[in-house]
Structure formats: structure tokens, C-alpha cells
Amino acid sequence: MKGIIYACLAGAFLTLQGTANAAIGDEIGAWQAAALTQGTGFAAALLIVLLLGDKSWRNLNQVKPIYRLGGGFAAFILFSNITAYNQNGAALTVASLLIAQMIATLTMEKAGWFGTATGRLRKSQWAGLALMVIGILCLTL
């Protein structure tokens, strides 16, 4: 249950961040807004780690180098979100983002990328994805 609550919070904050980033992007540009957001996000996360007294960051050398690139993806995520929000609005952007995430996640799970267990896609997963696509079509019509 705790994981679902965190996922819902993340979804809400993602929408708030996307809307704020779009406004910032209008003022200073999309890439600049992405840099600002990454910088403030880094500062906030670092502050929380320091306040919690967590020393696990010292084990960074144990993290596979390819996984360390994850933060770099955020720059492209933010730029894409800012541009999409400005062109599509919040609802269509978030719906499209969710569909893209579902497709990527199902692909990664099926292929076993990043150490995930491989498996066959079930009919219910295909049906869920199809319903999401139908939902986004309803938003755009």
C-alpha cells in the first residue's frame, strides 16, 4: 500500500512540476528550465540526504556506470515534457507520457533489461494498454 501512495504522490508532483516547468520554459526557454529544475532537484535531494544523515551515497562506486546515466535522461525528459505541455496541455501530455511509460516498461520486462525478470505479455496487459490508448484518443477528439 505504501508503494501505491508514493506512486500517487509522484504522479501528482509530476503534473505540478510539468506545469511549473512549462511556465518557466515560456520565460527562459525549455533547456534552461530543464537545467534549473535539475539543479533545484539536486539541491533538494542532497539536502534531504544530509538531513537524514544517510551515508549510503558513499557506495556510488558500486553502481554500474550505465545506471549512473539515469540523471542525464532527466534533461531530455524535462525538455520533452516542457515542450509537450506547451503544445498539448497537461492532460494530453500526462496521458501520452503514461502510455509511453507503459510501452517502455512492458518492453523492458519482456526483454529482461536492467535485471528485470523476463516474461510473456499477458492478454490483460495488452488490454490495459489498449484501453489507455482509447482513453487518450478520447482526450484528443
**Spans of all domains in the chain:** 1-88, 89-141
Q: Which three cell numbers stand for residue 10?
A: 509522484
Q: What is the pLDDT of residue 57?
A: 78
Q: What is the pLDDT of residue 44?
A: 93
pTM: 0.73
Name the band, by pLDDT with cuts 50, 70 and 90, for residue 5: very high
Q: What is the pLDDT of residue 18?
A: 85
Condensed to tens digits (0 to 9), the pLDDT of residues 66-125 reads 888 888 888 888 899 899 988 988 888 888 888 888 888 888 877 777 777 777 778 888
Q: What is the pLDDT of residue 31?
A: 92
Task: From 22, 28, 26, 23, select the one nearest 78 (Cα to Cα).
Answer: 22
